[in-house]
Each structure stands twice: as C-alpha cells, then as structure tokens.
Amino acid sequence: MNKYYHIVTYGCQMNVHESEKIAGILADLGYKSCGSVNSADIVVFNTCCIRENAENHAFGNIGMLKKLKSEKKDMIIAVGGCLPQQMGKAENLHDKFPFVDIIFGTHNLHKLKEYIISKSCTKKPVIHIEDDSGIICEGENPCRTSYPNAWVNITYGCNNFCSYCIVPYVRGRERSRKSENIISEVKGLVAEGYKEITLLGQNVNSYGNGSDEISFAELLRKISAIEGDFRLRFMTSHPKDFSEELAEAIASCDKICKCVHLPVQSGSDRILKAMNRKYTVADYIKKIEILHKYVPDCAVTTDLIVGFPGETEEDFQSTLELVKKVDYSSAFTFVYSRREGTVAAKMAEQIPEEISKNRIMRLVSLVNGLTRKHSCSYVGKTVEILCEGYDEKKDMYLGRDTYGRMGYFKCAENAIGKFINLKVTSANGISLIGEKV
Ligand code: 5AD
Ligand code: SF4
C-alpha cells in the first residue's frame, strides 16, 4: 500500500534544502510525496524562528492539525528544525500540542528515519533535541524539488553572533564541508543536468576559516572550472569577510552570476556597532567599491532591519541615505523582532511597534522605487535568462538573468531548464516581461 508524505517548510533557502533532505529520508522509507496534509500519512513541519511571526505561523499551522489527527490516529506528525532547537521550545511544543509524534532539532535531522521507526513500533512520542556536535553529515540523498536549480551546503552554523540574531544559538558553530565533497556533489549535479548551483551558508565568505581548506574564492574558481553549461550563485555573504579575491573571482569566472547579496542591516554606525556587525558604513561602501572595480555591472542586494533597539529617526535616515547611495537592485526589509536569548533582547529602548511600522513603510517605498527603476532600465534590452518554472496564473514561463532579475515570457514548448534570450518589452515593478528571441 502506498504511503504519502507532506512537508511544510518555513524560512530560508537553507530550510528549503533541508526539507529536500527530509524528503530523501522519507522516500528511503517508502513514502511518496503528496500535495496536502489531508492525504498524508506523515506530515513534517520544518520550522524557522528567525522572527516571531515565522514562529507564530508554524504554531498556528501545527495547531490546525489537531482535528485531522483525531480522525486519522495513525498519521504521524513531526516538527523539526530551528523552532524546537531553541531552549525550552521542544517541551513547550509538546505541552501545547501533545498530538505531535516526533520533535527534533537542527542537529539531528539525519536521525529522522530512526525516530519514525521508533514511533511506529512503540507508539510513543519521540522528543529529541541534540547539542551542536560539530558533525557534518555527508552522503545524504536529497529529493531535489527545484530543478533546474540545486542547493549545495558549503558551511553550516554561524560564529558571528549579531546581537539581534537567534541563528548562532540554533544552528551551532560555523563548520565547513570539505572542498572535495562539495566539488564532487556539484560535478554529479551538473552531470544530472542541473543548470544553476547555489552554494549555501550563513556566511559563505568565511568558508574554510580556522582550517587548512581553500578560500571561498578558490572554491568558486574550482567549481567554475567544472565542465558543463551551468551558472553558479551563492548566499549569504557577510560584509566583514567580503574579500577583493572574491570580487576578482566573480570577474574572472563566467559561470558566476553577477549578483551579490550583501546584507548591511543598517546605515548607522551606532546601530551597526550595537548589532555587533563588525563594520562601519564606510567599510561597507569600500567593499562595494572594490566589487564594482572588478565587476562594474554587478547587482547588489541586501537585508535591512528597522526598529532595532535604540534606533532614532536620525539613524533611520542614515539607512535611507545608504540605500540610495548603494542603489540596491532589490532588498529584503524586516522589522526588528525580539528573540529571547539574544543580546539585543535585553537592550533598553525597544522601539514601539507604530514607529517601526512607519519606518518599514518608508523604507519599502524607497526600495520599491529603486527596484522599479532597475527593472525599467531593462526595457528594449535582450538578456539571457535560465527558465526555472511556469506560472499557471499568468500562463507564462519565468526565469532569472545573471543579475537575479525575474523575467516572464510565453513559449509553446516546455522551456524549464533552458537558457532563453529574452527581449524585454515591459517591466512590472520587480519583474520583467518579454519575448523569447
Ligand atoms: N529581527 C528581524 N530581522 C532579523 N534578521 C535576523 N534576525 C532578525 C531579527 N531578530 C534578518 C537579517 C538577516 C535576515 C536573514 O533576517 O536581516 O540578514
Ligand atoms: Fe545571524 Fe549575523 Fe550569523 Fe547572519 S551573520 S546568521 S545575521 S548572526
């Protein structure tokens, strides 16, 4: 008899890829993917806790399964990832949702198979959270879901302890995979036909730090030298570790996309210091200048936080100024979210919600204006995009160019996984519309 799984993923690309690994484990146990919780024999929530709303969202959706579980007693519900890895949260989840069968953290995802077997045999809930052991799992067999893109981890964890951020507490200390393992994984993916490889880490620029591994720039050069028709992307970069060598590598390797995500968080030196970001606005601008010296047309995107404790209107104005100066191609904007256990959570002067809301609205409006301006500058040009999907509502294919800009087009045959020359006819805010030429 067929058994089905459904995975609900919250959060970043790292989590999206980890859900592919969970899918690999479930496939190994004989489960097949299905599109909804209603027809699933096992539902796995792969959670995020970076901001309070991500956590609330997961709590809400887990709670909604109570009724279904009472009707389908044999259905297994598992909750894993960053949320239960936080101190005390696994117990909290268990108390609130006693119908959840398996709770696991970020450091023991690879043991999910044994937890499922144990639950099926003993019928008892399995609650296992492990501490960071520094182990790197190799030989995983993810069920990849994002063809023609494939995610490849290069580092895990983070050592930066930005004062607002929970990640170092739930993902443990930074550790790098061996370059030979990364290179052989990429070779295999290219041979299988993947056309875009995205290297993943909380801070890819510090790849190999504290070991005798090659530098991140060298890793990029080696991967670029793999034969085949593919693109290379990476995320995320920490500005303090962004090197001239990396800018040089982007310039000299055709396969590396001309798009760097360089989160700045704030445009105020005072706030950057309080955030423990370890650079000033001037240092950051210098890095962008170095990048543009080597790759003049490189697109830069960023992450920004408003309403960090103690942020004044003047600090916020400095952020607006920096955004205009760098002329970001696009940006992710966030309202600061207080995370228990972080240094910033204990800071005085938490900013009232209405002030943060007002600031985020002004920031989003500025960022949207820049994004629109960049999109409009494409009209009339022809760009190469890698088709990565089909939008049913729009009845159009979609894909991104080297700068990360999304373009839509009509096509009679299946274009997914093909490099397409797109003549841009119009721009629609964040994305482009064009014709295949
Ligand atoms: N509140 C708001 N945004 C946060 N980020 C990380 N922690 C928080 C927090 N506590 C944002 C940062 C980071 C991105 C992944 O999420 O901008 O770069
Ligand atoms: Fe969080 Fe800072 Fe590490 Fe990024 S670099 S994951 S923001 S602590």
pLDDT in tens, 174-189: 999 999 999 999 999 9
Left (φ > 0), alpha (ψ -120 to 50) or beta: where does 206 sit?
alpha
The answer to whether the CB of 238 falls within 8 A of the CB of 206 is yes
The answer to whether the CB of 309 falls within 8 A of the CB of 336 is yes
Atom 5 of ligand 2, residue of closest alpha carbon: 160
∠ CA 154-160-162, nearest 5°, is: 130
Atom 1 of ligand 2, residue of closest alpha carbon: 165
Q: Among 157, 165, 127, 128, which residue's Cα sits nearest to residue 49?
A: 165
CA distance linking residue 188 with residue 192, whole number of Å: 6
- Whether 1 has a pLDDT exceeding 80, the answer reads no
Alpha carbon of 194 to those of 51, 144, 190: distances in Å?
A: 32, 10, 5
* Greatest Cα pair distance in the chain: 65
Q: How confident is the model at residue 338 (pLDDT cuts 50, 70, 90)?
A: very high
Give the helix ranges, DSSP H, for 65-200.
66-71, 82-85, 89-96, 112-122, 167-171, 179-192
Does ligand 1 lie within 6 Å of residue 160's CB atom?
no
- The atom of ligand 1 lying closest to the CA of 342 is 10
Q: Which tens digit of pLDDT belongs to each residue from 224-277?
A: 999 999 999 999 999 999 999 999 999 999 999 999 999 999 999 999 999 999
Does ligand 2 lie within 6 Å of residue 165's CB atom?
yes
> What is the average per-residue pLDDT within 218-229?
98
State the CB neighbour count (10 A cutoff) for residue 287: 23
Does ligand 1 lie within 6 Å of residue 265's CB atom?
yes
CA distance linking residue 22 with residue 34, whole number of Å: 14
- Whether 393 has a pLDDT exceeding 90, the answer reads yes
CA distance linking residue 155 with residue 136, whole number of Å: 9
- The atom of ligand 1 lying closest to the CA of 338 is 10
Length of the chain: 437
Q: Among 138, 178, 136, 171, which residue's Cα sits nearest to residue 157?
A: 171
Does ligand 2 lie within 6 Å of residue 238's CB atom?
yes
Does ligand 2 lie within 6 Å of residue 161's CB atom?
yes
Contacts 24+ apart (CB under 8 A), 125-130: 125/94, 125/98, 125/100, 125/101, 126/101, 126/102, 127/90, 127/91, 127/94, 127/102, 127/103, 128/103, 128/104, 129/84, 129/85, 129/90, 129/103, 129/104, 129/105, 130/105
Atom 2 of ligand 1, residue of closest alpha carbon: 336
What's the pLDDT score for residue 225? 98
Q: Among 388, 419, 417, which residue's Cα sits nearest to residue 431?
A: 388
Q: For a pLDDT cut of 90, what percent of the chain falls above it?
A: 95
Pocket test for ligand 2, best of 238, 262, 271 (most atoms within 8 A of CB): 238
- Whether 367 has a pLDDT exceeding 80, the answer reads yes
Pocket test for ligand 1, best of 51, 304, 350 (most atoms within 8 A of CB): 51
Does ligand 2 lie within 6 Å of residue 203's CB atom?
yes
Does ligand 2 lie within 6 Å of residue 160's CB atom?
yes
How do beta strands 155-156 and 419-428 pair? unpaired
> What is the average per-residue pLDDT within 275-288?
98
Q: How far is the CA of 240 from the centre of ligand 2 (A)?
A: 12
- Whether 78 has a pLDDT exceeding 90, the answer reads yes
Q: How confident is the model at residue 353 (pLDDT cuts 50, 70, 90)?
A: very high
Q: For a pLDDT cut of 70, what percent of the chain falls above it?
A: 100
Residue 25, token pair as written in the block? 């484990």
Does ligand 2 lie within 6 Å of residue 162's CB atom?
yes
Q: How far is the CA of 334 from the centre of ligand 1 (A)?
A: 7
Does ligand 1 lie within 6 Å of residue 339's CB atom?
yes
Q: Which tens digit of pLDDT belongs to each residue from 96-145?
A: 999 999 999 999 999 999 999 999 999 999 999 999 888 898 888 999 99
pTM of the model: 0.96
The answer to whether the CB of 233 falls within 8 A of the CB of 197 is yes
Q: Is the peptide bond before 148 cis (omega within 30 degrees of 0)?
A: yes
State the CB neighbour count (10 A cutoff) for residue 25: 23
Phi, psi at residue 40, to the nearest 5°? -90, 145
How do beta strands 175-176 and 155-156 pair? antiparallel
- The atom of ligand 2 lying closest to the CA of 238 is 5
Q: How far is the CA of 201 from the centre of ligand 1 (A)?
A: 15
The answer to whether the CB of 201 falls within 8 A of the CB of 170 is no
What's the pLDDT score for residue 360? 98
Pocket test for ligand 1, best of 303, 306, 323, 330 (most atoms within 8 A of CB): 303
What's the pLDDT score for residue 210? 80
Q: How confident is the model at residue 165 (pLDDT cuts 50, 70, 90)?
A: very high
The answer to whether the CB of 351 falls within 8 A of the CB of 336 is yes
Q: What DSSP designation does 111 have?
A: G
Does ligand 1 lie within 6 Å of residue 249's CB atom?
no
